[in-house]
Amino acid sequence: MNVYEEEARDRWAGTDAYRQSISKTSRYSAEDFAAAKVDQEAATELFVSAFGNGHSIDSPKAQEAVIAHRAAITKWFYDCSVEMQKNLATIYIEDPRFAEYYDGRVRGLSHYVHDAIMAQ
């Protein structure tokens, strides 16, 4: 178990989402994990495009990214409700690791992703 898996277990082990994620991912091959990453990256690229083209957080383009983000999580890990996605959005700006992931693409993207998710 790596440090991220330990952290997830410590923080979320008592939740349905965690149990569902463990159940799904325990059967995944390396190819499955690679496919999950492709879907997650595609959703991120939709955010990059919407942000880079000046679309407002509540625009159809930004909300398309929000939907793709939630769909990728649901497909590969656990049923991601709007409420759960909003909880994740908060982490994206509060946890420097997540902020760095998004802001490493485009400066300010983490706040845009957060705000777009919250705007749904």
11 vs 89 pLDDT, higher one: 89
Give me the domains of the chain, ranges plus CATH numbers: 16-118 (1.10.490.50)
Residue written as token pair 């939740």: 15
Helices (H), 26-108: 30-52, 60-76, 82-94, 96-103
Quick one: tokens of 61? 């383009």
Residue at 118: amino acid letter: M
pLDDT for the residue numbered 1: 65
Q: What is the pTM of this model?
A: 0.91
pLDDT for the residue numbered 2: 65
Quick one: tokens of 25? 């991912």
Instruction: List, for residues 18-28, the tens digit of each pLDDT value.
Output: 899 999 999 99
Quick one: tokens of 9? 């277990």
